[in-house]
Structure 1
Amino acid sequence: MTDISAIIPGLGSFLFGTLVPFFFVLLVVVFVHEMGHFIAGRLCGIGVQAFSIGFGPEIFGYTAKNGTRWRLAAIPLGGYVKFVGDMSATSASVDEQALSKLSEAERRVAFHTQPLWKRAITVFAGPFANFVLGAAVFAAMFAIYGQYVYQPTVAEVRPNSPAAEAGILPGDTFISVDGVRVASFADVQRIVTGRAGDPLKIVLERDGREIETVATPEVSEQPTALGQKVRIGLIGVVTNEAVGKRDRIEYGPLQAVVAGIQETGDVIARTGQFMKRFVAGREDRCQLGGPVRIADMAGRAAGLGFEWLVQLVALLSVGIGILNLLPIPPLDGGHLMLYAAEAIVRRPIPAQVTEAVYRVGMLMVLAFMMFVFWNDLFGC
């Protein structure tokens, strides 16, 4: 007979060690994204019918004086802002019949009656809010903890590695990699790890002279601090405190903000690079994960400390912002793509075309969701 007393502690550990951190991370990212839509819409004079965290049946909610229904729903895997006149929570298309039933005052604040630029700003504000959240978290981390960096000087070259084949020697200092100047060993790592299989032009300083060489990073599977295995590019060089001279950089408030924005830009650039390589078949599909993997990462991050969990919020927020800007309806990027087409032809896109595009886009989104779920549960 199963010992119930042995099961209960395990359930408690799963609940508070995994589910609670997961929902914290997800709800913060979703709330900020939807609040971006909400604030931009209100500033543009658009009426909001509902602001929902989660989908499905309402668990809790209240109606504000301006008529907006604020609600917490049963399925906390997303959220939406429903504007006045929307056919659905996705603002997918114009429901002429529904619009005809609106009063004149309601038509003035309906989403689909607004100028194109107001609709575009409102849609873009969601992903933009995610980027702002990421930058704010990174800035706070820099301001509180500073940053430890190593100079880009090589302490050791692994035998038979791409670096050894390229003639890189201990004591060499990186000046640039792939045309990008580097100031720290971390800068070298950021460039190399995402470029497995790509020949990289490297400029080094050796005995006061500049030397050029080419190294092609090899694929290596490495564990992360959160227990995930990732496939990255390595050239086979390391540094240490004796050679690389570890320094701590301290940031003032303005410097921290600038560094936070730069870090967000780096994350966006690396993510974009990964996506291009993935589409070209040059990245492992197992690098993509869904809710199950995010939950596992959230639990591990919470176990390492609250600052790790907050950094995961920042990374996931930037990732969600990028994902939502993909030109696929019903994602925000899909809306913006149709608005761009509307601006080019200078008239609304026919409802039949819009509906067909959204159906195809929805199938693509569902297929992607099934793909990452399969990776989470069975594929990897």
Structure 2
Amino acid sequence: MAVESPNIIITLLAFLTLIGTLVVVHELGHYFVGRWFGVKAEKFSIGFGPQIYGRTDKRGTLWRVGVLPLGGYVQFAGDMNPSSQADESWKSLPEVERNQTFQSKPLWQRALIVFAGPAVNFILAILIAMGFLLAFGKSVTPPVIDIVQPNSPAAVAGLIPGDQIISFNGRAIETFDEMANEIIMIPGETAKIEIKRGDRIIVKNARVAVAEETDRFGNKYRVGRIGVGATGIEVRKVGIIEAPWAAIVQTGNVLRQQMIGLGQIISGRRPLTELGGPLKIAKVSGEAMSMGILTFISLAALISINLGFINLLPIPMLDGGHLLLYAIEAVRKRPATPLVQEWAFRAGFAMLVGFMIMVTFNDLASFGLFGGG
């Protein structure tokens, strides 16, 4: 039986806390690396639209909060808008002021300033993962099958108890959790499974079943299952020396799954309806907060990785779009023309608006507004 979702107050508080924190972290990455290279930040904005709070510090940076809390930006000296499009008047500034503009800096410094935003989102996720690993350890359950459900994809493929999974779709498997995470991502697809049975290495092909799971709040998820299990769960403590690399690997695996998921949506192997937007994030945020602070922090790590990944997509208006233009500039030995940049940013803006409309429609449909969900 589904548990009633948290009330609107808890949901709104959780959403603003989650998004506000992650946006601040992201923009602070841009801000501090920009300061490191001597670039003046004219505005540091959390949210868009009309200002509801603002304060100018001794460096001349306006720290503001906008009425729409769905993002933020750092506007550096020399930018004519939050998308960091150059205002050519920076060239006529006095030398001291000109040297504080973003555009005056070498290409590699501009690229690092832009990359710093997504980078700190990944760093935050790594730090959270380190904390969890140090506190709770990590699962090291061997990838040995103890249970094979009758008539399951594993049984049909010929897997039996005692088989050790060596690789799954060409990816080496060291723990049972790693195998489970691979299976979850490919419902309805055929997987190549390499196993060790006694002294023999055998390759099996299994058609991953599509399972629909429902959480305690009634949310439904489409996942892959092959019908195997392990009875002995092993958890090992993680030391302070091992934790950083283990957290990096864990974060990298989550990022890889997100990339796979996006690729499946682009290729049509997953429906567009699985893409969620701000409303869905708000709902999940409230649910996570109602389940406890650890669940909420875990969600924050997941969303932080997602935010870093999305911002690195090569779409103008996003950090990845800027990095793409810088790559072109590095090859051409000169920046793209202002007209090309203008149209690139217009196209990027149109793409983002279209994407937001689509995911908002998905969110509303999942809430049953259109008779579905």
3-state SS, counterpart of residue 52 of structure 2: strand
Q: CA separation in 2, counterparts of 1:331 and 1:227?
A: 34
Match of 2:12 among 19, 24, 45: 19
Q: For 1:176-215, what per-residue CA distance to the aligned partner results, in whole angstroms no more than 9, with x for missing partners?
A: 2122222221111111111234432212233443322111
Query: Of Structure 1 and Structure 2, which has the larger fraction of its residues in helix?
Result: 1
Helix, strand or coil: the match of 2:28? helix
Which has the larger displacement, 147-156 or 26-35?
147-156
Task: Tell me how far apart the structure 1 counterparts of residues 365 and 178 of structure 2 sit (CA, whole Å).
Answer: 35
Maintained 8 Å contact 1:227/1:300 = no
Aligned to 2:236: 249
Distance 1:171 1:288, change over 3 A: same
Q: Is the 8 A contact 1:204 1:212 kept in 2?
A: yes
Asked if 2 retains the 8 angstrom alpha-carbon contact of 1:226 and 1:297, the reply is no
**Is residue 122 of structure 2 the alignment partner of residue 120 of structure 1?**
no
Report the Cα distance in structure 2 between the residues aligned to 1:225 and 1:149, rounded to whole angstroms.
Answer: 27
Work out which of the residue numbers 120, 128, 145 in structure 2 matches 1:137. Answer: 128
Alignment pair present for 1:76 and 2:69: yes
- 1:226 and 1:147 map into 2 onto residues whose CA distance is 27
Q: Using the alignment, how far apart are the partners of 1:377 and 1:254 within structure 2?
A: 46
1:323 aligned residue (305, 310, 316): 310
- CA distance change for structure 1 residues 299 and 271 in 2, over 3 Å: closer, same or farther? same
The answer as to whether partners of 1:27 and 1:76 remain within 8 angstroms in 2 is yes
Distance in 2 between residues matched to 1:205 and 1:224, nearest whole Å: 35
Cα distance change on mapping 1:12 and 1:232 into 2, 3 Å: closer
Question: Match of 2:242, SS?
Answer: helix
Which whole-Å CA distance do the structure 2 matches of 1:239 and 1:231 have between them? 22
Whole-angstrom CA distance in 2 between matches of 1:60 and 1:274: 38
- Structure 1 residue 12: Cα displacement: 9.5
Q: Taking structure 1 as the reference length, what is the TM-score of the superposition? A: 0.91
Moved more, 198-207 or 131-140: 198-207
Q: Does 1:94 align with 2:94?
A: no
Matches within 5 A, 1:148-163: 148-163=139-154
Query: Does 2:163 match 1:179?
Result: no
Q: Secondary structure at the match of 1:340?
A: helix
Inter-partner Cα distance in structure 1 for 2:5 and 2:248: 40
Give me the whole-angstrom Cα distance separating, in 1, the residues matched to 2:242 and 2:212: 35
Task: Give the equivalent residue in structure 2 for 1:344.
Answer: 331
Shift in Å, 1:61: 2.3
Distance in 2 between residues matched to 1:33 and 1:219, nearest whole Å: 36
The 5 A counterparts of 1:52-63 are 52-63=45-56
Distance of 2:358 and 2:115 partners within structure 1: 26
Aligned match of 1:356 = 343
Name the SS of the counterpart of 1:200 in structure 2: strand
Q: What is the Cα deviation at residue 33 of structure 1?
A: 0.5
Question: Which deviations, in whole Å up to 9, do the C-alpha atoms of 1:359-378 show, x marking residues without a partner?
Answer: 11110111111110000002
Q: Which moved more, 1:314-323 or 1:42-51?
A: 42-51
For structure 2, list consecutive stretches of 5 or more residues without a partner in the other structure.
Answer: 367-372
Q: Given residue 24 of structure 1, which amino acid in structure 2 is its aligned partner?
A: T
SS of 2:193's partner is: strand
Name the CA distance, whole Å, in 1 between partners of 2:251 and 2:195.
28
SS of the residue corresponding to residue 263 of structure 1 reads helix
User: Quick one: percent identity of the two aligned structures?
Assistant: 40
Q: What displacement does 1:227 show? A: 5.1
- Mapped partners of 1:235, 1:12: distance in 2: 34
State the Cα deviation string for residues 38-78 of structure 1 (Å, max 9, x = none). 01111111111011111122222221111111122222111
Aligned to 2:196: 205
What is aligned with 2:26?
A: 33
With 278-287 and 172-181 compared, the bigger mean Cα shift is at: 172-181
Three-state SS of the structure 2 residue aligned to 1:168 is coil
Three-state SS of the structure 2 residue aligned to 1:253 is: coil
Q: Is contact 2:214–2:221 with CA below 8 Å preserved after alignment?
A: yes
Aligned length: 364
Distance 1:261 1:293 in 2: 27
Residue 138 of structure 1: how far off its partner (Å): 0.7
**Amino acid in structure 2 at the alignment position of 1:123:** V
Q: Distance in 2 between matches of 1:353 and 1:67?
A: 32
